[in-house]
Amino acid sequence: MNTEKHFSYSENRRIFLMITPKFSRFFLATLLFVTGGLIDDAYSQETKSRSQGSHEFCSAHSNYGGDKVGHRELREFTVPASGTLRVDGERNGGISVKGGNVGEIQVRACVNAWGTTEQNARANAENIKISTSGTIVAENRSDDSNWGVSYQITVPRNTDLELTAKNGGISIAGVDGNLEFTTVNGGISLSDVSGNVRGRTANGGINISLTGSSWRGNGLDVSTTNGGVKLNLPVNYAANIEAGTVNGGYKSDIPALNITTEDEKGEWNGRHRSKQINTSINGGGAPIRVKTTNGGVKIETTDGDKKY
Structure confidence by residue, pLDDT tens digits, 169-188: 999 999 999 999 999 999 99
Average pLDDT (87-109) is 94
Q: List, for residues 190-220, the tens digit of each pLDDT value.
A: 999 999 999 999 999 999 999 999 999 999 9
The predicted-structure confidence for 14-66, as pLDDT tens digits, reads as follows 434 444 444 444 434 443 433 344 333 333 333 333 322 335 788 765 334 46
Residue 156's closest CA among 137, 176, 171?
Answer: 176
**Beta strands at 194-203 and 176-184: parallel, antiparallel or unpaired:** parallel
Burial class (CB in 10 A: 0-12, 13-18, 19+), 294: middle
Residue 284 has pLDDT above 60, yes or no: yes
Q: Which of 244, 256, 259, 258 is nearest to 297 (CA)?
A: 244
Closest by CA position to 76, among listed 12, 11, 148: 12
* pTM of the predicted model as reported, rounded to 2 decimal places: 0.77
- pLDDT of 95 reads 97
3-state secondary structure string across 99-144: EECCCEEEEEEEEEEEECCHHHHHHHHHCEEEECCCCEEEEECCCC
Strand bridging mode 188-191 / 104-115: unpaired
SS3 per-residue string spanning 263-287: CCCCCECCEEECCEEEEEECCCCCE
CB contact set of 136 (below 8 Å; sequence gap of 6+): 79, 85, 86, 87, 88, 107, 130, 151, 153
